Amino acid sequence: MRPLVLDYGLRWNGCLFTNVKALVLVSLLVTDYKGMANLQDMSHLESQRPDFRNARHPSRMYSGACDGGKFTVSVLDSALPQDETNPRPLAISESRKVQDCCESYHWGDESNGARQLAVALLLDVTGDPDSAKQWFEFFACRYVANLGQSWNVPELDIALWLHCYQNARPGS
């Protein structure tokens, strides 16, 4: 997708835009949604990265809650019917295979648990272990550290965050 230029202009790579323009941008991203290609099929394109503007399932909502000192994260996919598998817990085991920071999730700080949550969220949104490993520390400090005691985050927010940081140019 090319940078958008609206009434007053929009700095796409710098991610600076008004709320109305953000709504237009998100609408265009959802309208332009194409499922991400299977990363194994992209082996011949090793120098290119997947386009994270096109999240795999833009209907997911991540929810975190702290109950009695226990931090839990669940994933609801609104495109699927709610049943015993939807919502599902965000499994820590897969993220620990990518980067083992901690045995449990945490947020609202820059702890190892926050780093583990960052890995898990990035991995679940992108499906790409390399991107999750590359960005988890920055994502933990900039995003996960600012989450409240309970929170809801749409998958598209994480995909847009990642896209903006991956495509930001110095001085933008």
In this predicted model, what pLDDT tens digit does every residue of 72-129 receive, in sequence order? 999 999 888 889 999 999 999 999 999 999 999 999 999 999 999 999 999 999 999 9
CA neighbor of 172 nearest in space, from 1, 8, 17, 7: 17
CA neighbor of 106 nearest in space, from 152, 74, 131, 73: 73
Identify whether residues 8 and 90 lie together within a single domain. no
Q: Per DSSP, what are the bridge partners of residue 65? A: 72
Identify whether residues 107 and 163 lie together within a single domain. yes
Q: Which residues of 39-72 are buried (b: 16+ CB within 10 A; e: fewer)?
A: beeeeeeeeebbebbbbbbbebbbebebeeeebe
Q: What angle do CA 94, 96, 98 make, to 5 degrees?
A: 80
Q: Give this prediction's pTM.
A: 0.67
147 compared with 22, residue with greater pLDDT: 147
- Asked if residue 23 is part of any domain, the answer here is yes
Distance CA 54, CA 24 (A): 16
Identify whether residues 66 and 5 lie together within a single domain. no
Identify whether residues 28 and 73 lie together within a single domain. no
Identify whether residues 77 and 158 lie together within a single domain. yes
Identify whether residues 80 and 162 lie together within a single domain. yes
In this predicted model, what pLDDT tens digit does every residue of 33-61 receive, in sequence order? 434 434 445 444 444 555 555 545 568 99
How many independent structural domains does the chain possess? 2
Expressed as residue numbers, the domain containing 161 is 60-167
